[in-house]
């Protein structure tokens, strides 16, 4: 017989999934919005140019987010992840609808990252992303 689920407070649940008041994970937390207060059109064109700039990636490469392209909590900006696979046919999340930022996002890059907390600490976990949002990692990033 399976053990009964223990009742958790919302604070305990957030701690279990790695979100807490002491260590929040916010999508914009580690990128200042400096430079966006001026010409918004120029900033948008620069982000578009960066988004559409292709990088030749191969399995084994270390990559990180392009500046201004992070749309998931992890990995953090500047954190390297390793390319595990480049998918020829992108995968689309069938659970999101048109109101989601992930609607029709082509996930064609499989990366591996070392998990940093909990029982899986140090394990290599894989995640799928849109490769247009990533660039080769350099230690200075």
Q: In terms of C-beta distances under 8 Å and separation of at least 24 residues, what long-range contacts does 128-133 make, across chains too? A: 128/87, 128/91, 129/72, 130/90, 130/105, 130/106, 131/55, 131/57, 131/86, 132/51, 132/52, 132/54, 132/69, 133/51, 133/65, 133/66, 133/69, 133/70, 133/71
Q: What is the mean pLDDT of the segment spanning 18-34?
A: 56
5-9, 16-20, 28-32, 75-79: least confidently modelled range = 28-32
Residue 24 pLDDT level (bands cut at 50, 70, 90): low
pLDDT band at 43 (very low <50, low <70, confident <90, very high): confident
**9: confidence class by pLDDT, cuts 50, 70, 90:** confident
pTM of the model: 0.71
* Per-residue model confidence as pLDDT tens digits over 60-73: 999 999 999 999 99
Local confidence band at 27 (pLDDT 50, 70, 90 cut-offs): very low
Q: What band does 1 get if pLDDT is binned at 50, 70 and 90?
A: very low
């Amino acid at each position: 017989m399976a053990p009964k689920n223990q009742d958790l407070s919302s604070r305990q649940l957030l701690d279990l999934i790695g979100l807490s008041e002491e260590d929040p994970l916010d999508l914009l937390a580690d990128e200042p919005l400096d430079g966006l207060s001026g010409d918004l059109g120029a900033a948008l064109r620069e982000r578009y140019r960066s988004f559409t700039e292709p990088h030749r990636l191969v399995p084994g490469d270390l990559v990180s987010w392009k500046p201004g392209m992070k749309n998931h909590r992890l990995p953090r900006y500047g954190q390297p992840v390793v390319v595990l696979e480049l998918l020829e046919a992108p995968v689309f999340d069938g659970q999101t609808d048109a109101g989601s930022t992930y609607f029709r996002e082509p996930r064609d890059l499989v990366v591996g990252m070392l998990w940093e907390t909990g029982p899986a600490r140090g394990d290599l976990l894989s995640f799928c992303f849109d490769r247009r949002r990533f660039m080769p990692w350099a230690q200075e990033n």
